[in-house]
Amino acid sequence: MWIPPLAKTQSGEVGHANYQHPRRLREGTYSLEVDRFPLLLVATAMRALKADKSLWAKYDNGDNLLFKESDLADPNRSELFQELSSLPDAGLVMLAAQMRAALKGPLEATALLKTPCPTCGRLLP
């Protein structure tokens, strides 16, 4: 929950590492945009499971939703990100690309769902 009087303060709680942008974990970010990345992550994981249910058996560890902290820390070395990018679901590929883009910048730059992709102009699924 975000409360305007506490804007620009550091958060005492940053959420679970398997769902959070690495900068939120490092910096304790607290802002109106703090939930953008976790929402994108959940939407991407749900779309991925719709596209390929076998991903659950392969990537679930009982404490995540496909993604692990290591995937978010280094998406270029992530087996999951590579697999998502190769699945025949254009919406999923776009969501995975948006996650990769979000991980390169600040939380505030994470695309909102149902907004135009800054790279290609298409609406996020």
Q: Is 123 helix (H, G, I), strand (E, B) or coil?
A: strand
CA 93 to the chain's CA centroid: 13
Q: Is residue 70 one of the residues assigned to a domain?
A: yes
Q: Is residue 6 one of the residues assigned to a domain?
A: no
C-alpha torsion sign, points 48, 49, 50, 53: positive
Q: Is residue 3 one of the residues assigned to a domain?
A: no
Q: At what angle do helices 79-86 and 90-103 cross, to 10 degrees?
A: 150
Q: Is residue 124 one of the residues assigned to a domain?
A: no
Per-residue pLDDT of the chain (125 residues; tens, 9 = 90+): 667 777 777 666 667 787 788 887 777 677 777 888 999 999 999 999 999 999 999 999 999 999 999 999 999 999 999 999 999 999 999 999 999 999 998 888 888 877 555 566 666 55
Q: Is residue 120 one of the residues assigned to a domain?
A: no
Q: 57: domain range?
A: 17-109
Q: Is residue 114 one of the residues assigned to a domain?
A: no
Q: Is residue 123 one of the residues assigned to a domain?
A: no
Q: How many folded domains does the chain comprise?
A: 1
pTM of the model: 0.82
